[in-house]
Amino acid sequence: MKINLMYDISVFGVAMSHMTSRTGIYRVVMELLNELQKSEEINLLLANTAEPVYLKKTKEFLIENGYEQRLNNKLVYNLPNKIFGRGKRILRNLYSLLGIDLELIEYDTEAFRKADIFHTPFYKIPNDLKNFSKLKRCITIHDIIPVLYPNLHNKLLETKEIISSIGNDYAICVSENTKNDLLNYDGNIDPNNVFVCHLAADSDKFYPSADSEKFKEVQNRYGLPENYFLSLCTLEPRKNLERLIRCFNKFVLEHHINDLSLVLVGTKGWQFEKIFEEINCSKNLKDRIITTGWVFDEDLASIYSHAHSFYYISKYEGFGLPPLEAMQCGVATVTSNTSSLPEVVGNGAKMVDPENNDQICDAMYKLYTDSALKNELETKGLKQSEKFSWCKTTERHLDIYQSIIR
């Protein structure tokens, strides 16, 4: 018997409105959607629980990606009665001016009664859904870093709301480390209601790319050098980029390296200013530290594959997709020995203490001077990356859905 799964795709409306939002979470939600819609065990329903302003963009996404046929006349939106009551006529006029189709946002109680499970892969579980007693509800928890380290993140209130929305419902954590964090933080959550499912990197986007013509195009587009250390992440304090820049400078100056640059790929995030201050303090080396900003997905394999080595010295991660992407592209990878990262990289990467400059500099030196070690990490990284795939992730989700129903 098929599972009637209602899958929340609110992330896509936001991503269609802001191109730079098409990064980690967006890719995760997209990949799982692609796999779920292929499954013969699932009858897929789509929901949107974000603000009405994103509904038009969500529908545009569905049309653009061939999912419009998945809509049962309307895109479910859970709008509280206290808002959509006496002011209904005013809201109708407002939505009309914004170009929002009101038929898409009416509260579709029949769809919720039909569904067996409601799964939100990012946003909190809507409180009103708890009125449907037969509907099982689950949420993906990517991390709870804002409540563990509020100095490293600016989403404290949103994270607290996400955790509090779980209640007696179910959670799917992206790593064992994140599961432990969640249960240690909130002792009221039933451990039997919390599952673990690792993420994956899309094999169509992340693969060893030896195409020199493609790399020339990418070089011209982003101003990349021939020989570079690479880091890819949102530019924010948690990613430890200031320390990475300082270690790069120290390594280059102490060993008189003249043919190497540091490339930082990623959009500006929370409190990014200090990263650029660190670059400006690099004196004669600042021209060898290159920031690309956001890059197109189709360029990522080439950027990863042509890097000398990859560095992800994050202070804390719920999963850590970039090291997995790098390993899958065949790049020697250095990452932190903290949080979930050892769970992801296994023996496929060199791990360092993210607070220890000497260890980071030593890893740079060894990979730069020891080609045998570099080749060994490339091989081990590729092998480790084979343990992860979206097919395996989806199979695990199907098992979890069955467990929840039972």
234: helix, strand or coil:
coil
Q: How many CB atoms lie within 10 A of CB 377?
A: 27
CATH code for 3-200+390-405?
3.40.50
Please provide the DSSP assignment of 236-305 as one string: SGGGTHHHHHHHHHHHHHHHT--S-EEEEES-B-TT-HHHHHHHHTTGGGGGGEEEEES--HHHHHHHHH
Cβ–Cβ under 8 Å, residues 353 and 337:
yes
Strand-pair category, 333-336 with 42-47 = unpaired
212-385 belongs to CATH 2.60.40.10: no
* Nearest C-alpha neighbor of 248 from the set 267, 231, 268: 231
Taking the C-alpha atoms of residue 44 and residue 9, their distance in angstroms, rounded to an integer, is 12
pLDDT in tens, 206-229: 999 999 999 999 999 999 999 999
Among all chains, which residue has been given the structure tokens 């098992």?
Answer: 399
Return all residues near 254 (Cβ < 8 A) that are at least 6 apart.
361
DSSP letter at 120 equals E
pLDDT in tens, 261-288: 999 999 998 889 999 999 999 888 999 9
Helical residues (DSSP H) of 306-354, grouped into ranges:
321-328, 341-345
Taking the C-alpha atoms of residue 43 and residue 46, their distance in angstroms, rounded to an integer, is 10
In a structure prediction context, what are the per-residue pLDDT tens digits for the chain, which is 406 residues long? Answer: 799 999 998 888 777 766 555 667 888 998 999 999 899 999 988 887 776 667 777 777 878 877 765 554 445 554 444 344 445 566 566 666 666 665 555 556 777 888 999 999 999 998 888 888 899 999 999 999 999 999 887 788 999 999 999 999 999 999 999 999 999 999 999 999 999 999 999 999 999 999 999 999 999 999 999 999 999 999 999 999 999 999 999 999 999 999 999 999 999 988 899 999 999 998 889 999 999 999 999 999 999 999 999 999 999 999 999 999 999 999 999 999 999 999 999 999 999 999 999 999 999 999 999 999 999 999 999 999 999 999 999 999 999 999 999 9
List residues bridging with 139 in a β-sheet: 120, 171
